[in-house]
Chain A
Amino acid sequence: MKKLWKDPSSAFCLSFLLLITLLALLAPLLTPYRYDQIAADPLLGASWSHLFGTDEIGRDIFTRIVYAGQVSLLVGLCSTLIALLFGVVLGLVSGYYGGALDALISRFLDGLLAFPSIILALAVMAVLGPNIYNAMLAIGLVSVPIFARITRGSVLTMKSREFVEASRSMGAGDGRIMFGVILPNSLSPLLVQFSLTFASAVLIEAGLSFLGLGVQPPTPSWGSMLNAAKSYLTISPLYSIVAGAAVFLTVLCLNLLGDSLRDHLDPRMNKRR
Chain B
Amino acid sequence: MVPMIARKLLELVLVIFFVTLIVFFTFRLLPGDPALLKLGQDPTPEAVAAIRAEMGLDRPLLSQYLHWIGDLVRGDFGASSLDGKPVLSLLAEKVPKTLELAVLGTLLSLFIAIPAGVLAAVYRYSWVDRLMRSVSLFGFSVPAYWLAILLMLIFAYKVHLLPAGGYASLAENPWLHLKGLVLPVLTVGIINAAQVFRFLRSGMLDIVNQDYIRTARAKGVSEALVIGKHVARNTLPGLVTVVTLNFSLLLSGMVITEQIFAWPGLGWLMIQSILSRDYEVVQGAVLLSAVFIVVMNLVGDLINAMLDPRIKYN
A binds B: yes
- Interface residue ranges of A209-223 to B (CB < 8 Å): 210-213, 223
User: How far is it, in angstroms, between the C-alpha of A39 and the C-alpha of B84 when the chains are bound?
Assistant: 47
**Interface membership of B260, Cβ < 8 A:** yes
Task: Check A237 for interface membership: any CB of B closer than 8 A.
Answer: yes
Of the listed stretches A80-88, A156-164, A248-256, chain B binds A248-256
Interface-forming stretch among A15-23, A49-57, A123-131, A146-154? Answer: A123-131
Question: B266-312: which have CB < 8 Å to A?
Answer: 267, 270-271, 274-275, 279, 282-283, 285-286, 289-291, 293-294, 297
Decide yes or no whether A233 CB sits under 8 A from chain B. yes
- Bound together, the chains give a CA A199 to CA B142 distance in angstroms of 11
Complex Cα spacing A245 to B29, Å: 36
**A107-B18, A119-B251, A212-B275 known; A207 vs B146 contact (CB < 8 Å):** no
List of B residues within 8 angstroms of A212 by Cβ: 275
Known contacts A119-B289, A207-B143, A234-B157; A111/B251 CB under 8 A = no
Q: List the B residue with the shortest CB-CB distance to A247.
A: B143
Contacts of B19 on A, CB cut-off 8 Å? 111, 114-115
Residues from chain B with a CB closer than 8 A to the CB of A119 are 251-252, 255, 267, 270, 285-286, 289-290
- Are A255 and B255 in contact (CB-based, < 8 A)? no
> Which residue on A lies nearest to B144, using beta carbons?
A207
Query: Is the Cβ of A237 less than 8 Å from the Cβ of B290?
Result: no
The chain A residue with its CB closest to the CB of B198 is A259
In the assembled complex, A44 has its CB within 8 A of some CB on chain B: no
A203 at the interface (CB under 8 A from B): yes
Judged by DSSP, the binding face of B is helix
The answer to whether B175 has its CB under 8 Å from any CB of chain A is no
Interface residue? B31 (CB, 8 A): yes
Q: Which of B20-28, B85-93, B235-243 contacts A (4 or more CB under 8 A)?
A: B20-28
Q: Find chain B residues with CB under 8 A from A230 CB.
A: 149, 260
Question: Is A31 on the interface with B (CB-CB < 8 A)?
Answer: no
User: B234 at interface (Cβ–Cβ under 8 A)?
Assistant: no
The answer to the question of A116 belonging to the interface, with a C-beta cut-off of 8 Å to chain B, is yes
Cα–Cα distance between A109 and B176 once the two chains are bound (Å): 43
**Chain A residue, CB-CB nearest to B282:** A126
The winner among B18, B137, B153 for most chain A CB atoms within 10 A is: B18
A123 touching B149, Cβ below 8 Å: no
Which residues does chain A contribute within 8 Å of B9, judged by CB atoms?
A: none
A116 touches B289 (CB 8 A): yes
Whether a CB of chain B sits under 8 angstroms from the CB of A6 is no
Q: Answer whether residue A120 sits at the interface, using C-beta atoms and an 8 A cutoff.
A: yes
List residues of chain B with CB within 8 A of the CB of A107.
11, 14-15, 17-18
- Interchain CA distance A8-B31 in the complex, whole Å: 50
Please name all residues of chain A whose beta carbon is closer than 8 Å to the beta carbon of B137 when the two chains form the complex.
252, 255-256, 259
Interface assignment of A78: CB less than 8 Å from any CB of chain B = no
- B141 to chain A minimum Cβ distance, whole angstroms, is 4
- Chain A residues with Cβ below 8 Å from B285 are 119
How far, in Å, is A43 (CB) from chain B's closest CB?
15
Q: Is B209 an interface residue (CB 8 A)?
A: yes
The 7 lowest CB-CB distance pairs between A and B, nearest first, are A111-B18, A244-B146, A252-B141, A118-B252, A116-B251, A116-B252, A114-B290
> Which residues on the A side are within 8 Å of B297 (C-beta)?
114
Residue from B15, B143, B157 having most chain A Cβ neighbours under 10 A: B143
Q: Mark B120-157, 1 if CB is under 8 A from A, else 0.
A: 00000000000000000110111111100110110001
Beyond A107-B18, A115-B293, A248-B142, whether A233 also contacts B149 by CB under 8 A is: yes
Q: Chain A residues near B196 (CB, 8 Å)?
A: none
Chain A nearest Cβ from B127, distance in angstroms:
15
**Taking the nearest CB of chain B, how far is it from the CB of A104, in angstroms?**
9
CA distance A259 to B297 in the complex (A): 26
